[in-house]
């Protein structure tokens, strides 16, 4: 009987010790978890300027006539004049394309009073330059008034006739810009950790924002501003 009581006592002691150890272990784990749960989320910016590497320049012109055959002949003549102007400026033949003309017959229009119109037919056509030689094309643009002196009516104020500048080398610069944005984010996080008497730990999670490409300003659309923002969450510890 005494042996049974002794065994029960010893078993009870072990249970108390085990419970204490378990409680200590759980408490220690909770403390570690709480420490790991502390974090800070910061954003890092990388922004650079690059010259555009492709220009698309549509030259849109308008012709009017009462004779359809003469209208088409004049469209072709003016297209040849524009092509000659471009070639003289150093634009390559392979960089020049011509669209099909768009013809409007005013007498066939259902709405509007066109009886007083001087010309029955009006036509628009576009000669487009697609080139990687930005400087050369911009130089040719400066002499565009020469076509006006030849009697070519240019639609220079139309949105669709504005030159478009593209930056196509984004994949080449992505790695460096992401690295810069991440480094910038870490600097911000380290400053926060220092101000809060904490130490910066490992990255908990990170997300790369979308790259954006925009004109540097309205007067310099051939210079592009490339921008990316990365969001990084770091662990903090005391």
- We report the CATH number of the domain holding residue 219 as 3.30.110.170
% residues pLDDT > 70 (the chain): 79
Total-model pTM = 0.75
The yes-or-no verdict on residue 225 having pLDDT over 60 is: yes
Per-residue CA distances from 207 to 38, 54, 122, 167 (Å): 19, 30, 54, 24
Same domain, 141 and 86: yes
Examine the domain organization and report whether 49 and 61 are in the same domain: no
Count of structural domains, the chain: 3
Strands (E), 32-187: 39-51, 54-65, 96-98, 102-105, 121-131, 153-154, 164-166
Return the pLDDT at 28. Answer: 43
In this structure, the answer to whether residues 180 and 201 fall within a common structural domain is yes
Within this chain, do residues 127 and 140 fall inside the same structural domain, yes or no? yes
Which of 165, 199, 215 represents a domain boundary (last residue)?
165
**Does one domain contain both 101 and 132?**
yes
With a pLDDT cut of 90, the percent of the chain lying above it is 63
Tokens 């990687």 belong to 132
Q: Give which of 72, 129, 73 is closest to 102, Cα–Cα.
A: 72
**pLDDT mean across residues, the chain:** 84
The tens digit of pLDDT for each residue in 56-93 reads: 999 999 999 999 999 999 999 999 999 999 999 999 99
Rounded to whole angstroms, the Cα distance separating 133 from 211 reads 25
Same domain? 93 vs 133: yes
pLDDT at 228 over 50: yes
* CA-to-CA separations, 68 to 81, 102, 150, 163, 205, in angstroms, rounded: 20, 12, 21, 30, 67
Mark whether 62 and 151 lie in a shared domain: yes
For position 204, what pLDDT does the model report? 86
**Are residues 59 and 153 located together in one domain of the fold?**
yes
Q: Return d(Cα 162, Cα 63) in angstroms, integer.
A: 19
Q: Is the dihedral of CA 81, 86, 88, 89 positive or negative?
A: positive
Identify the domain boundary among 165, 195, 213.
165
The number of beta carbons lying within 10 Å of the beta carbon of residue 209 is: 16
User: For 93, which DSSP code?
Assistant: G
> Where among 142, 165, 188 does a domain terminate?
165
Residue-by-residue DSSP string for 145-211: HHHHHTT-EE-TTSGGGS-EEE---HHHHHHHHHHHHHHHHHHHHHHHHHHTT-EEEEEEEEEEPPP
Q: What is the pLDDT of residue 109?
A: 67
100-143, pLDDT tens digit by residue?
999 999 887 656 555 667 889 999 999 999 999 999 999 999 99
Residues 6 or more apart from 129 whose CB is under 8 A from it? 55, 56, 57, 58, 59, 86, 91, 95, 96, 137, 140
Same domain, 79 and 119: yes
Range of the structural domain that residue 24 is part of: 1-37
Question: Which residue shows structure tokens 């020469």?
Answer: 146
Query: Are residues 209 and 192 part of one domain?
Result: yes
11 and 45 housed in the same domain: no
CATH at 117: 3.30.70.2970
One domain for residues 62 and 47: no
């Amino acid at each position: 009987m005494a042996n049974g009581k002794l065994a029960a006592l010893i078993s009870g002691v072990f249970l108390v010790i085990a419970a204490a150890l378990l409680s200590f272990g759980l408490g220690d784990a909770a403390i570690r978890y709480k420490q790991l749960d502390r974090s800070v989320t910061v954003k890092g910016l990388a922004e650079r300027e690059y010259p555009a590497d492709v220009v698309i320049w549509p030259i849109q012109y308008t012709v009017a006539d009462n004779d359809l055959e003469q209208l088409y002949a004049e469209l072709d003549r003016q297209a040849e004049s524009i092509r000659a102007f471009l070639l003289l400026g150093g634009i390559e033949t392979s960089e020049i394309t011509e669209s099909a003309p768009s013809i409007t017959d005013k007498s066939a229009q259902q709405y509007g009073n066109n009886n007083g119109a001087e010309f029955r037919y009006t036509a628009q056509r576009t000669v487009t330059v697609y080139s990687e030689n930005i400087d050369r094309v911009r130089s040719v643009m400066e002499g565009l008034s020469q076509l006006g002196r030849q009697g070519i009516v240019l639609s220079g104020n139309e949105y669709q006739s504005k030159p478009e500048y593209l930056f196509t080398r984004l994949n080449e610069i992505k790695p460096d810009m992401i690295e810069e944005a991440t480094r910038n984010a870490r600097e911000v996080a380290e400053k926060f950790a220092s101000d809060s008497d904490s130490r910066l730990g490992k990255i908990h999670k990170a997300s790369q924002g979308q790259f954006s490409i925009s004109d540097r300003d309205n007067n310099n659309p051939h210079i592009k501003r490339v921008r990316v923002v990365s969001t990084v969450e770091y662990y903090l510890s005391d």
